[in-house]
Structure 1
Amino acid sequence: MRTGEPSVPRWAWVPAAAGGLLVLLPLVALLAKVPWSDFGGLVTSESARVALWLSLRTAAASTLLCLLLGTPMALVLARSSFRGLGLLRAGVLVPLVLPPVVGGIALLATFGRRGLMGHALEVAGVQVAFSTIAVVLAQTFVALPFLVTSLEGALRTAGRRYESVAASLGARPTRVLFRVTLPLVLPGLVSGAVLAFARALGEFGATITFAGSLQGVTRTLPLEIYLQREVDPDAAVALSVLLMAVAVVIIVVARRDRSAW
């Protein structure tokens, strides 16, 4: 270590190692329990393939929805000042600390057949609860705060200097947003989108409460793992490793792309 460089206190290595073991040991134990001789057959069964494909499709749809809704939300939170802003920010963050099953009940109260909006939708011939749409809504509900918080932080870090220059040159707010603001915070936007996708991919509680578990319709991979745990523990372990591998690939690709920026 060169003189003048900041150093890590020696005592910090002990809790850091303990935290690392707390995270990594269960993953190692999971890998140790995988029946590798049957792994291929377990993760390529009909039900597993259908559940994985449904998970990927709904997670992608919910991530797109998070981008469409979360980007303007983060912009309002980072660039606006009005009474009640703190309350709005707290409301956006509630799904982060809310048990997912409670989120599912809240979604049922809103979009269920007798819900706040569900009854009107039912009259119009649109059934949301216990459908693939319900899966996307449940995943969006729990994943949206991840994108909003990540992008809001990036917006605050970037500041307003370049936006002010563009505005002073006559650029309209929408042009400033797409030509200046978003390119500046693109790494934060991508990071938030990856976090949202990963959270949506692993969503369980709100999904099973609001969407149920219908094969090919609402039974995502986490739900399939939960069901297999009772009837075929080996399949549950193998599918858990598959889901973990998909999540690792997403994180590695996202970090590599972000480092390129």
Structure 2
Amino acid sequence: MIKDAEFMAFIQDVDQHFSGWDFSRITASGRMQSHALPWSLGSMVIPFMRDATTMLDMGTGGGEFLSSLHPLPKTVYATEGYKPNVPIAQQRLEPLGAKVVYFEEDASLPLKDHFFDLIINQHESYSVAEIQRILNDHGVFVTQQAGGTDCYGINEWFGVPLNEEFAHWDLETAVQELQDHRFNVTFSREDFSPQRFYDIGALVYYLKAIPWQIPDFTVERYVEPLYQIHQVIRTKGYFEVQQHRFILIAEA
């Protein structure tokens, strides 16, 4: 039984509510910080938005990213596969004129054939065949992805292997899949950079929000490695892992 009062207070963050795709509880306060990427998804998307009439945001979460992009094209859709996020996204996006669509399978989106001029995707899984189906001729697909080794240092501390389904996911694989479907990849870049947690509560909150990192995560099950990481933070000031990101732009 761990009797460290500071540790026990911090791990109560597992009980804090998380909704949409909003990490501001731990990012706005600086409790979790990631190294700046050598690109900006928003800055890359906006020029394409100016020329688009129809646009889709895949995996919109609570609509946080899409709602930050102005002005939106005439017709905008957003998909979300996690039901609790749908009303959150609707509340944020519908006043902006965007339609939020719930879906269950990446390979079967309830959207029209060859409808979108622009599809954007931030950290959402996708089927290349479905992108090909719903994107119109000469349409553009822009995606930023978390790679398969993202934050692997957490898994090492917890003794949990990476999810084999995603461990291979990297820029080379994503580019090859798109080229196999006759997309023209016009830009691609990959980055490995630090991500830091400055208290153990921030890590606990993060793992609750990202259940695929440690699929069976509970504080009770992993209290020992959590306490070891807490000691690292006490000594070093932070717990650091490596994030894995890549971005690509492809034309149909």
TM over 0.5: no
TM-score by length of 1: 0.23
Q: Which has the higher helix share?
A: 1
Q: Which has the higher strand share?
A: 2
* Larger Rg belongs to: 1
